[in-house]
């Protein structure tokens, strides 16, 4: 029983959103059912309340009870199946949404190393692909900037080495120190980002 309880609660991945959707759907289902019941029972209720004679009233009451005895269990089964269906559907929608939220939180921290992964039967697969494409695009941009930054530092260091005149070299070194400080600041900012450790992005840049 405990294992079954855990499996049931595993379907609740976003309690607030899932229960709200289920509640609204069940309320809509109740309203729809009440309209149908009113249409079905109205003639019988009319005959019971405004009978032309006692026999008509008796027949209407007997038919009302006979239909009610059959329709109440049917409604219980229908609403139970509908609630289970809503739980499954909302689970397949809210599961990816939770993954999207966690992914956006990682991106906000500069972590581009993980893609969104959803289960086989989950919905929002197309949206998942778009998010993964966005992550890959950001990773390519960050990697390109990182490579440019490295090349900048290498070039700056080579300029210092190549200058032979001491006076000129001293002036250039002061200017380069300022530029290198800016480059270090860029490096520190880029250091917040984490991208996958593979060569796919470098191939795309080539």
pLDDT of residue 132: 92
* One domain for residues 30 and 99: yes
| DSSP reduced 3-state for 60 | helix
Cβ atoms of residues 103 and 131 within 8 Å? yes
* One domain for residues 7 and 83: yes
pLDDT of residue 206: 46
Does residue 118 form part of some domain?
A: no
* One domain for residues 86 and 151: no
pLDDT of residue 3: 47
Domain boundary among 108, 139, 168: 108
pLDDT of residue 139: 86
pLDDT of residue 48: 83
Which of 112, 133, 108 minimizes the C-alpha distance to 198?
112
* One domain for residues 88 and 22: yes
Please give the backbone phi and psi of residue 194, each rounded to the nearest 5 degrees, phi first.
Answer: -125, 130
* One domain for residues 86 and 172: no
pLDDT of residue 119: 84
**Cβ-count burial 13-43 (b if 16+ within 10 Å, e if not):** bbeeebeebbeebeeebeeeeeeeeeeebee
Per-residue pLDDT of the chain (206 residues; tens, 9 = 90+): 444 444 545 677 788 888 899 999 999 999 999 999 999 888 888 888 887 788 888 888 888 888 888 898 999 999 999 999 998 999 988 888 989 999 999 888 888 888 888 888 889 999 999 999 999 888 888 888 877 777 777 766 766 665 555 666 666 777 677 777 777 777 776 676 676 665 554 444 44
* One domain for residues 103 and 129: no
DSSP 194: B
Does residue 115 form part of some domain?
A: no
User: Which residue range(s) make up the domain with 7?
Assistant: 2-108
Counts for the chain of helices (H) and strands (E), in that order: 6, 0
Question: CA triplet 32, 34, 36: central angle to 5 degrees?
Answer: 75
User: Per the structure, how many domains does the chain have?
Assistant: 2
Query: pTM for this one?
Result: 0.64
| CA 87 – CA 25 distance, rounded (Å) | 11
DSSP 154: H
* One domain for residues 6 and 96: yes
pLDDT of residue 76: 92
* One domain for residues 101 and 135: no
């Amino acid at each position: 029983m405990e294992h079954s309880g855990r499996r049931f609660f595993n379907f609740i991945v976003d309690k607030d959103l899932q229960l709200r959707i289920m509640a609204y759907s069940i309320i809509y289902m109740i309203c729809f059912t009440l309209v149908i019941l009113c249409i079905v029972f109205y003639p019988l209720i009319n005959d019971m309340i405004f009978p032309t004679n006692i026999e008509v009233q008796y027949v209407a009451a007997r038919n009302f009870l006979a239909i009610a005895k059959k329709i109440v269990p049917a409604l219980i089964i229908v609403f139970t199946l509908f609630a289970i269906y809503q739980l499954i559907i909302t689970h397949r929608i809210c599961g990816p949404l939770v993954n999207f939220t966690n992914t956006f939180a990682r991106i906000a921290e500069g972590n581009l190393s993980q893609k969104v992964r959803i289960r086989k039967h989950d919905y929002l697969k197309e949206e998942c692909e778009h998010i993964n494409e966005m992550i890959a695009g950001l990773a390519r941009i960050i990697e390109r900037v990182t490579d440019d930054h490295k090349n900048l530092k290498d070039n700056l260091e080579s300029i210092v080495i190549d200058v032979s005149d001491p006076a000129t070299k001293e002036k250039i070194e002061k200017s380069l120190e300022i530029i290198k400080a800016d480059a270090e600041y860029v490096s520190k900012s880029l250091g917040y980002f984490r991208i996958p450790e593979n060569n796919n992005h470098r191939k795309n840049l080539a």
